[in-house]
Structure 1
Amino acid sequence: IGAGTVGTALSVRLSSKGYRVIAVSSRSQTSAQNLARRVSGCLALNNNQDVADAAELIFITTPDDAIASVASEIQWHRGQSVVHCSGADSTDTLEPAKKLGAQVGAFHPLQTFAGVKQAIENIPGSTFAVEAEEPLLSTLKDMATALGGNWIELKASDKVIYHASAVIACNYMVTLVKLATDLWQSFAIPPHQATQALMPLLRGTLNNIDKLALVFYNQIDSKLPAIDRLGGELVKIGILNNISRLDQIRPRRQQLKRYFECPLWLCRRG
């Protein structure tokens, strides 16, 4: 239920791994039809109850603020499983389904979904946060593995902190890249060229984090210089101990202040 980017990407990937995705409904019938065309044997149905009546395992992949209302509108029955894909909400959101005898769960792909094509490509290798009781819990773990991903099991009380971590890792990066590219305009380099120039550095930094972060985190309390390898440009510039360089930054302090406030705004939205 819900044929947006997440619902479409999961349907396509699950179908490719042998799961039968038999029906879809969405606020937009066009979106439902588009998803159905991508998945063999999937029917675009007119309403959410029809989807619930057709299947035993139902994913609610609507925006987070619609999950509770969708769950409360449907007449569930014992033996069904109902799963949402929110990173912030616990299975408490599905309490109406649970009261009618359905098992409830959460299955959140820890990934960014800018568009359907990118989402389908990004799912393999992702971690899925799962929350459920058995036997649904094992089903969701198996799904995560089938999708080429990993899984972590969370409790309801973990979800807010987990989601905050995802917001920091994803949205803050967008803010930092925007800040970095805009600074290049001070020497007349347009944003698209600045982004192109910075991308290899960004990829290299992420690669360093992937390869060296565990070492860094283990050593940071011992004050060993692993940070030099993770973020060499910071150390080379000497920004940490060369106060004179701040003079070059002061003329742009208002612009910098605006960007430093962006993560706070993004966090509030998250």
Structure 2
Amino acid sequence: MTAPRLGIGVIGAGRVGAVLAAALRSEGHAITGTYAVSDASVARAEQLLPGVPLLEVADIIERSEMLLLAVPDDQLGPLVAGIAATGLSPGGQLVVHTSGRYGTDVLAPLAAVGSATLAIHPAMTFTGTRDDLARLVGCPMAITADPTFLPVAAALVVELGGESVVLPEGDRPLYHAALAHGANHLVVLVDQTLEALSRLGIEDPGAYLRPLLEAALEESLRRGAKALTGPVVRGDAGTITAHLEALDDLDATGEQGRTGDTATTYRALARAALSRAGLPPDTQRRIRALLDEPTQTEER
């Protein structure tokens, strides 16, 4: 038996909202309208959701059986409060948000007027293009909802192509912090590495790094800290000293207006590696003393 098709309104046509709406549209749901503010969001909506009208929030609420709220975390609470204050949200409307940080407590004002509330967070980075539609297939998605509505959340995840993981409300902050730390901070680490190699004159530092980084990521996902290699794990204090001197010089001669922070990042991550390396206490103390010395940037 085919599940009933919904009229879905999208509030927030950013990278996430527009892509998820396109995926649900491909499953036969009708997108009743989108709310987009920036020029980039308008262009994205026109590309991914051709023919779908751009509407004000009040019009979307009135036209829709389901609201998809895909806005930045800090905007979600005020948006929900504003929708509730209008009195336009009918009882029985389905309201879904895509924030990783929040569960359904943030949607309480709408639950109070009879809405069924769900939190669905895909654990992937979105580009806001059609390429994301294929990447949704098999993507883990954290769902939080009242037990009554968990089957609805799971069904939507299936239609999006993902794999649902039930996450309690109280676990959301740590869950989101873990994903942000792993994905967002990885980008910073790679960017710092690319900058260092570029300064050496390597024409395509991304291509140079790719085999090393792909192998390191694959091994770390499979083995965790057991995949650690390098001078910290070996207890090679001389190499660490040379690294710190080179990175201090890199930061001191960085691009004008840009804070040199690679040495500071290296020290912080090396300390974390040291705590996982299992070295003898004397070796640990010697390396920790090196890492605790202030960087040239900190001394200035």
TM-score exceeds 0.5:
yes
| Alignment equivalent of 1:12, drawn from 22, 32, 36 | 22
- Equivalent positions of 1:33-72 (< 5 A) are 34-35=44-45, 38-39=48-49, 42-45=52-55, 47-72=56-81
What is the CA deviation profile of residues 38-78 of structure 1, one whole-angstrom value per residue up to 9, with x for unaligned ones? 33663322x11211111111111122222122222222121
Distance 1:179 1:239, change over 3 A: farther
Paired residues in the alignment total 243
1:148 correspondence with 2:158:
no
Which residue in the other structure is 1:206 paired with?
Answer: 217
Which residue in the other structure is 1:224 paired with?
Answer: none
SS in 1 for 2:144: strand
| Alignment equivalent of 1:127, drawn from 126, 140, 161 | 140
Structure 1: tracts of 5 or more residues without a match = 221-226, 264-270
1:152 CA drift (Å): 1.0
SS in 2 for 1:176: helix
Provide the C-alpha distance between the structure 1 equivalents of 2:150 and 2:173, rounded to a whole number of angstroms: 20
RMSD of aligned Cα (Å): 2.8
Provide the C-alpha distance between the structure 1 equivalents of 2:235 and 2:121, rounded to a whole number of angstroms: 42
- Of Structure 1 and Structure 2, the greater helix share is in 1
| Alignment equivalent of 1:246, drawn from 240, 247, 261 | 240
1:242 CA drift (Å): 2.3
Distance 1:63 1:94, change over 3 A: same
Distance 1:33 1:187, change over 3 A: closer
| Alignment equivalent of 1:73, drawn from 68, 82, 88 | 82
Q: TM-score, normalised by structure 1?
A: 0.78
Provide the C-alpha distance between the structure 2 equivalents of 1:189 and 1:175, rounded to a whole number of angstroms: 19
Structure 2: tracts of 5 or more residues without a match = 1-10, 252-261, 270-300
Provide the C-alpha distance between the structure 2 equivalents of 1:129 and 1:27, rounded to a whole number of angstroms: 27
1:121 CA drift (Å): 4.2
Larger Cα Rg: Structure 1 or Structure 2? Answer: 2
Letter in 2 for 1:200: P
Q: Which moved more, 1:172-181 or 1:161-170?
A: 172-181
Letter in 1 for 2:215: G
Extract structure 1 runs of 4+ deviating beyond 6 A. none
1:104 CA drift (Å): 1.3
1:118 CA drift (Å): 4.6
Provide the C-alpha distance between the structure 1 equivalents of 2:188 and 2:267, rounded to a whole number of angstroms: 10
SS in 1 for 2:31: coil
1:10 CA drift (Å): 0.5
Which residue in the other structure is 2:120 paired with?
Answer: 107
Q: Which moved more, 1:89-98 or 1:3-12?
A: 89-98
Identity %: 25
Which residue in the other structure is 1:268 paired with?
Answer: none
Provide the C-alpha distance between the structure 2 equivalents of 1:173 and 1:81, rounded to a whole number of angstroms: 35
Distance 1:262 1:23, change over 3 A: farther
1:165 correspondence with 2:178:
yes
Which residue in the other structure is 1:259 paired with?
Answer: 265
Q: Which moved more, 1:34-43 or 1:89-98?
A: 34-43
Distance 1:187 1:103, change over 3 A: same
Q: Which moved more, 1:6-15 or 1:201-210?
A: 201-210
| Alignment equivalent of 1:23, drawn from 29, 33, 36 | 33
Provide the C-alpha distance between the structure 2 equivalents of 1:246 and 1:70, rounded to a whole number of angstroms: 50
What is the CA deviation profile of residues 195-238 of structure 1, one whole-angstrom value per residue up to 9, with x for unaligned ones? 1111122222333345xx2xx35xx7xxxxxx3xx35xx25x68
CA contact (8 A) 2:157 2:164 kept: yes
Distance 1:30 1:162, change over 3 A: closer
